[in-house]
Amino acid sequence: MNIDFTEKIIGKEKYFNSAVIALVIEKNDKKYFLFEKRARGVRQGGDISFPGGKIEMGETSLEAALRECKEEIGIDEVDVKGKIGTLVIPSGIMVEAFLGIIEEKKLKKLKINEDEVEGCFLVPVDFFKKNSPRIEKLEVETKPYYYENGEKFVFPAVELNLPKMYHTPWKSSPREVYIYIYEDKVIWGLTAEIIKEAIKYL
């Protein structure tokens, strides 16, 4: 029996699989990240992120990131440098992150999809290199039940004779959350995680 040694993520199909692309622009001999501020009417409205979204059936993670980039801000010519990595977060989301370079002139051709994006802005890459993120902690609680269409479904911990700790909500160890504050903008969570990794390549 032989098993290859390529990276595998067990249970990947159970996650919300998504992809983003961290866009970098070279302007006046300096590098900048291009960020989006999500429209107020969408999930996580007001948050700051990179272009990206759900990986649809039949497409690769990179294809999804590039498609979302075009749909959200109208950019379809990206020099993809490679994959930054895969981020798995406790809320059941898996994000595959890529790094791409776009030409400065593309900024004039931004076509912001106002249904999804409130606006875009640039932040110097050097800001993130010179400033470590603020670190806070969050605690995630797992509940042995969920609601669907108003009906409560209970995890059968008692029936299965599982340890008592699983009969009621239980908490995981606190996890660190990165936060960058640039002027009046708060960049945090998975976007901050991706930035912290991306700057290693810039």
pLDDT of residue 170: 92
Question: Do 64 and 87 share a domain, yes or no?
Answer: yes
25 in Cβ contact with 102 (< 8 Å): yes
pLDDT of residue 94: 95
Is 6 part of any domain?
Answer: no
Is 27 part of any domain?
Answer: yes
Question: Do 121 and 78 share a domain, yes or no?
Answer: yes
pLDDT of residue 166: 94
Is 1 part of any domain?
Answer: no
pLDDT of residue 12: 86
Is 112 part of any domain?
Answer: yes
98 in Cβ contact with 65 (< 8 Å): yes
Is 7 part of any domain?
Answer: no
Question: Do 162 and 80 share a domain, yes or no?
Answer: no
**Cα-flanking dihedrals φ and ψ of residue 182, to 5°?**
-120, 115
Question: Do 129 and 158 share a domain, yes or no?
Answer: no
Question: Do 79 and 148 share a domain, yes or no?
Answer: no
Whole-angstrom distance, CA of residue 192 vs CA of residue 202 = 15
Question: Do 185 and 104 share a domain, yes or no?
Answer: yes
Is 80 part of any domain?
Answer: yes
Is 153 part of any domain?
Answer: yes
Question: Do 152 and 113 share a domain, yes or no?
Answer: no
Question: Do 62 and 33 share a domain, yes or no?
Answer: yes
| SS3 of the chain | CCCCCCCCCCCHHHCEEEEEEEEEEEECCEEEEEEEEECCCCCCCCCEECCEEECCCCCCHHHHHHHHHHHHHCCCCCEEEEEEEEEEECCCEEEEEEEEEECHHHHHHCCCCCCCEEEEEEEEHHHHHHCCCEEEEECCEECCEEEECCEEEECCCCCCCCCHHHCCCEECCCEEEEEEEECCEEEEHHHHHHHHHHHHHC
Residues contacting residue 186 through CB under 8 Å, at least 6 positions apart: 48, 179, 180
Question: Do 158 and 109 share a domain, yes or no?
Answer: no
Q: How many separate domains does the chain show?
A: 2
CATH code, domain carrying 37: 3.90.79.10
Whole-angstrom distance, CA of residue 77 vs CA of residue 126 = 24
Structural domain harbouring 149 = 141-170
Question: Do 61 and 145 share a domain, yes or no?
Answer: no
Question: Do 84 and 160 share a domain, yes or no?
Answer: no
- Residuewise pLDDT in 10s, the chain (202 residues): 788 787 788 888 899 999 999 999 998 889 999 999 998 877 777 899 999 999 999 999 999 999 999 999 999 899 999 999 999 988 889 999 999 999 888 888 899 999 999 999 999 999 999 999 999 999 989 999 999 999 999 999 999 999 999 999 998 889 999 999 999 999 999 999 999 999 999 9
pLDDT of residue 107: 85
| Residue listed under structure tokens 């020099």 | 79
Q: Taking the mean position of all CA atoms in its chain, how far away is CA 162?
A: 34
pLDDT of residue 11: 86
Is 3 part of any domain?
Answer: no
pLDDT of residue 193: 96
Question: Do 74 and 149 share a domain, yes or no?
Answer: no
Nearest CA-CA partner of 144 in 154, 158, 134, 132: 154
pLDDT of residue 66: 97
Whole-angstrom distance, CA of residue 20 vs CA of residue 177 = 19
